[in-house]
Chains A and B, each alone.
Chain A
């Protein structure tokens, strides 16, 4: 249901600016939580606001970003993740501690950012150096002993190997020079009996490996034994460390929750600054939806690409049902998309692209519109639209913001008007439904509905400016329309509404003969 609304208003483009820094924040972004609880939203807005203030200190904000970016996800496989898992726990705690130290106490408290794992971090620190981690000698005296013995044997082995290779070189002229094997001619290998072990390479050559002395072999065997002992001691130390980690599981889970909440709010605050977003106001159920300076960000960007100014929108939807009429290209759809974007952003815990936005909290949002990507075997565009409406309406047993753009536009005018009347009547009878509907069709409205219209094309200003001039090229035409279109909403006073379609068609280059004939037809009616 919310997905249709998200697609309708291009919410993904808005969401692309939300870049959580931790795996926990990214997982929450992927879940896309829609909050229907004012309490949860208020907490998130409060935290976001607190981080907006916090981020004014750039040095601190940068440090917090750095530590959050370095927080890994704690391993879900626990002790089975071995030393690699301990590395992750250590890195998590080191960065959590550093982040906690940066946060002001009241904010840390609200986030649940409590530093309760000092003992565990001190323990793991014994294996850490400059960000690296290993099962260090200090974890176990037996481990340290085995490693010292291995180091001694390695020195001895290296000496014995060098002696042996020198002996082989003197005897045969074969210089292994740090290599484990050489490829030599079969004939030559025959003369090296006792010096090298051979394996076939091709028809005339063999792979030759040096045969080491019994002393070397004995020592190498001892090394193997010590390596096995080292492995056992490492495993024992690793298990003990994991027991300590498991003992702190509850505290670690609390840390994970705090990190997620911190990341959500801090990343939302960065986004608020980047996009000049403001905190929405949550109004009681049934209150007006009120927008001042609302911006549909995807459209704002598109227009900027054309070098065109974007007109922020102001509007208020006071009644349970609002029916919007207006010119083609007059902004009906933009109004619906803007309010959908603002409401969806607000209910997913974001600040919103508007100077001021106030609205009630809904249990769900749905958009019914001619989705060009929607396809279903055997269903026409009309069928798909009815199907979309049914899906949306099925959620009307709880507070629902339902946005409908050009409903039933693919059928004839009479039946479309009848369908719209039906929808309005059903919506008026259901107190859960808040309906915003844009249409070209005229129907009689129930008492719960407000009739609104886009202010439309400023014909007088256009005529004054373009007297005797022509505009060419799509960019110029769009510039022209944009300049003279008044993207505002007003209460509709008469049922006829503005007739801008012919003017817009003319600007867009529809042949003059067609426009003249159309005007004649209109006058005739």
Chain B
């Protein structure tokens, strides 16, 4: 599987199992390997403002001429990519106004993003308006729902696997792969936007986070569980798989899982793969920088 070719022509959220999972490294790999012009930005505190606010140097991305990035306006001049400004957004983040800029020569730039979901929508619209259809978003999973409603979005999940976290990392991947494979139920979109539920017998829909306590409230005669999307799952793999045996699960918005990028530290590939379901193994790619 070429993990990058399938990301071209769509918006990809690169989300991580935790801080320092390797999201930005994967983003730079994607930028190096793709063939079409791309745009990138980050969302969420971890990858956005916090690093600058607390003084940690922010990772930079490498751009080619014609690529676009959302850059803190205050950092435009520190980029060596000869950036031209396409838009400046009024919403101030902790690091100042974000600006959408296009590289006029190869170079690096610091990336940032919007502070609101509507801001994210506006930026994705402007990127499309600039003629770029491959977008990489480095960051938070909780922002995906909003973008998925408008854009052809997919997810790359980056996980850092160490001996101490092997089991939990595998379970998280299994859960994500299973949920991403569930069918879409778009007729429920209006319900999750605050509208009435479709008249479907035996369906039990949960707005917001799906937690253990909400799982316990599923009626015994329910045949189908409807959630907004997979980012709303807040139960573990075991609880989820037990539930899946009991009821059919569907999502109003389906988020395709394009790849699971595993960065193994002192863990052999076979050791990790043995703990994965076939669905999870099918999505697995290893650290793209790894050579024998």
Which A residues fall within an 8 A CB radius of B?
23, 72-73, 81-84, 87-88, 129, 131-134, 147, 150-151, 154, 174-175, 178-185, 188, 201-205, 207, 227, 231, 234-235
Q: A180-B28, A185-B292, A201-B265 are in contact. List 5 more A-B contacts (CB 8 A).
A: A73-B90, A84-B76, A129-B84, A183-B289, A205-B290
Q: Determine whether the beta carbon of A88 is less than 8 Å from that of B289.
A: no
Q: Does B90 lie within 8 Å of A154, measured CB to CB?
A: no
Across the interface, do A82 and B76 meet the contact criterion of CB distance under 8 Å?
yes
B29 lies within 8 A of A83 (CB) = no
Q: Are A183 and B102 in contact (CB under 8 A)?
A: no
Q: How long is the Cα–Cα vector from A23 to B91 in the complex, in angstroms?
A: 12
Interface CB pairs A-B, < 8 A, 30:
A23-B90, A72-B90, A73-B90, A82-B73, A82-B76, A82-B77, A83-B85, A84-B76, A87-B85, A87-B88, A132-B86, A133-B84, A133-B85, A134-B83, A134-B84, A147-B82, A150-B105, A154-B106, A174-B291, A178-B32, A179-B289, A180-B28, A180-B62, A182-B289, A182-B291, A183-B287, A183-B291, A184-B291, A202-B264, A205-B290
- Counting from the closest, the 3 A-B pairs by CB-CB distance are A84-B73, A134-B84, A87-B85
Chain B residues, Cβ within 8 Å of A72: 88, 90
Query: In B1-51, which residues have CB < 8 Å from any A CB?
Result: 28-29, 32-33
- Smallest CB–CB gap between B110 and chain A, Å? 14
Decide if B99 is an interface residue (CB 8 Å cutoff): yes
**Closest residue of A by beta carbon distance from B28:** A180
Docked pose: A147 CA to B82 CA in angstroms: 9
Q: What residue in chain B is nearest A80 (Cβ atoms)?
A: B74
* A464 shortest CB reach to chain B, Å: 39
Shortest C-beta distance, B54 to chain A (Å), equals 22
In the bound assembly, the distance between CA atoms of A132 and B85 in angstroms comes to: 5
User: Is B281 among interface residues, defined by CB-CB distance under 8 A?
Assistant: no
CA distance A513 to B163 in the complex (A): 80
**Beta-carbon contact of B291 and A134 below 8 Å:** no
Tell me, yes or no, whether B275 is within 8 Å of chain A by CB: no
**B213 at the A interface (CB under 8 A):** no
User: What's the minimum C-beta distance from B102 to chain A, rounded to whole angstroms?
Assistant: 7
A84 x B32 contact (CB < 8 A): no
Contacts of A87 in B (CB 8 A): 85, 88, 99
Mark B64-76 against chain A: 1 for CB-CB distance below 8 A, else 0: 0000000001101
Closest CB of chain A to B227's CB: distance in Å? 30
Which residues of B272-292 have CB atoms within 8 Å of chain A's CB atoms? 287, 289-292
B121 at the interface (CB under 8 A from A): no
In the complex, chain B residues whose CB is within 8 Å of the CB of A181: 289
Flag if B105 contacts A154 (CB, 8 Å).
yes
Roughly how many angstroms separate A148 CA and B237 CA in the complex, as a whole number? 57
Closest to B32 in A: A178
Q: Contacting B97 at CB < 8 Å: which of A84, A178, A183? A: A84
Q: Name the B residues within 8 Å of A134 (CB-CB).
A: 82-85, 104
Q: Tell me whether A84 and B85 are in contact (CB under 8 A).
A: yes
Over the window 145-161 of chain B, the binary record of Cβ atoms lying under 8 Å from chain A Cβ atoms (1 yes, 0 no) is 00000000000000000
Which residues on the A side are within 8 Å of B33 (C-beta)?
A: 178
Given A151-B105, A154-B106, A184-B291, are A179 and B29 also a contact pair (CB < 8 Å)? yes
Which residues of B are found within 8 Å of A84, using beta-carbon distances? 73, 76, 85, 88, 97, 99
Q: Which residues of A contact B289 (CB under 8 A)?
A: 179, 181-183, 207
When distances are taken between beta carbons in the complex, the residues of chain B under 8 Å from A202 are: 264-266
